[in-house]
Structure 1
Amino acid sequence: MDKLRILCLHGYRQNEQTFRERTGALRKLLKSTADFVFISAPHVIPEEENLKRPPEQRERGWWFSRPERSYNALDETDISTGYEESLELVVHVIINKGPFDGILGFSQGAAFLSLLCQLQQDNSKLFGSGGFKFAIFVSGFQSLVKPHKSHYKAAISLPSFHMIGTGDQVIPVLSSETLSQHFTSSVIYLHHGGHYIPASTELREQMKLFLSQFT
């Protein structure tokens, strides 16, 4: 049986290298089921200490919500600096390095993924012939950028799996639950942890069950 290919979108202040490390336990749980592909967001966080690091170690983001090029998930704002460039990057990756069966997003990457789901539903040709079949959200939330609100008006039919930590101190549980309600075919996995990617035998079994419909 061929493994599923899953594209992974990291959170704010991460990059493909750090996100690969932080998904190690999950990847081990699903090593017989899926291969994970990681990419870095195009925007480096413009802080002095960050800019001193080697390029591959610099913290990045998918867009900024403030004029000084920083980001907060709770900002209700018109600002989404860099969003279009990030969308162009992901479209390019999916068309040229795909196909991918699914996409996994963490934190800001999960908010970005929720927008990609609606964009694909509205335009099936957006990613060429390589559209994705499912989405996995970890500490997800609905983007509060005002231009993004239109993406949440219609229900999303794409199958989705939502990992929500009841101890998450960064993204409120209610925000993650609200996001899941936009999907008509969603599976919710609650864990007692915080703002990270969980790993347990129970999660493995639930994820394998979810992923089995795409193999």
Structure 2
Amino acid sequence: MRLKIQRKPRVLCLHGYRTSGEILKKMVGKWPKSVLQKLDLVFLDGPFLATGKSALEGIHDPPYYEWFHNNRDFREFYGLEECLLYIEDCMIKHGPFDGILGFSQGAVLAAALPGIQSQGAALTKVPKIKFLIIISGGKFGGIKYGLPKLATNAYSSPVQCPSLHFLGETDFQKADGVDLMNSFVDPIAIHHPKGHTVPRLDKKSEEVVLNFIQKIEKMGNQEKLINAAL
């Protein structure tokens, strides 16, 4: 009897503002092997070259990218439609993907995707997003953000997508992250003492992440059994 090898959850990873997929890969790569070996992580560069100086210049090498453009007070956004088409094309070429991981600007974008997808406004050619991992996130239309037209209904009802949220105690975006988390049904939170960064995982947070992955795997197995019975 041949054993069927179960596929790891495939995760599309969206980097922060004016950084890159390679930079996020280095940050997430500091997580324990016990977590990394459970996920198939794919790191994508944003569709637009950075339009200004990166905060990581001199720390990490360029080029740097953005997912969309915005004005200084984050009330107006540009290029979001092109961004969503770009992400959908990447998901078609390199998928199927099960979940999305996002940091900072990538987290703002990632968090809105299930709602945008469920409304039929974008990502209509790819499978439903099954889970999110949000690090230093916020939401369009949140405490200090404007609301792009495409994301108008992203949070019109509580988001059902399973979600794991990282909240830094000294993160300037913590209040936005809490506001975002409250828009989800049964969110799971990891509180850490750092600021606006991808934190290392201590034993407690490592266990939380592993339990979240286990939950996702069980959901995937249940879905397969239901589909097989149809």
TM-score, normalised by the number of residues in structure 2: 0.79
Instruction: Report deviation, 1:93.
Output: 1.3
**How far, CA to CA, are the matches of 1:49 and 1:125 in structure 2?**
29
1:86 has 2:88 as partner: no
Aligned to 2:216: 214
2:170 is matched by which residue type in structure 1? G
1:115 has 2:118 as partner: no
Aligned to 2:69: 64
Instruction: Report deviation, 1:210.
Output: 0.9
1:194 is matched by which residue type in structure 2? G
Aligned to 2:21: 16
Aligned to 2:186: 185
After superposition, where does 1:131-150 map in structure 2 within 5 Å? 131-143=128-140, 144-147=145-148, 148-150=151-153
Return closer, same or farther for 1:106/1:93 CA change in 2, 3 Å cut-off: same
Cα deviation per residue 1:57-108 (whole Å; 9 max; x = unaligned)?
3111111112xxxxx5xx242x211111111111111122111111100011
1:187 is matched by which residue type in structure 2? I
Return closer, same or farther for 1:95/1:185 CA change in 2, 3 Å cut-off: farther
Of 164, 167, 175, the residue aligned with 1:164 is: 167
Instruction: Report deviation, 1:151.
Output: 2.1
Return closer, same or farther for 1:30/1:48 CA change in 2, 3 Å cut-off: closer
2:28 is matched by which residue type in structure 1? T
- Say which structure, 1 or 2, has more relative contact order (CA 8 Å, 6+ apart): 1
Matched residues, percent identical? 29
**How far, CA to CA, are the matches of 2:54 and 2:112 in structure 1?**
31
Preserved CA contact (<8 Å) 1:76 1:146: no
Instruction: Report deviation, 1:129.
Output: 4.5
SS in 2 for 1:162: strand
Cα deviation per residue 1:38-58 (whole Å; 9 max; x = unaligned)?
0000111134899xxxxx931
Preserved CA contact (<8 Å) 2:16 2:102: yes
1:10 is matched by which residue type in structure 2? H
How many pairs are equivalent?
A: 201
Aligned to 1:101: 98
CA RMSD across the alignment: 2.4
Instruction: Report deviation, 1:149.
Output: 4.5
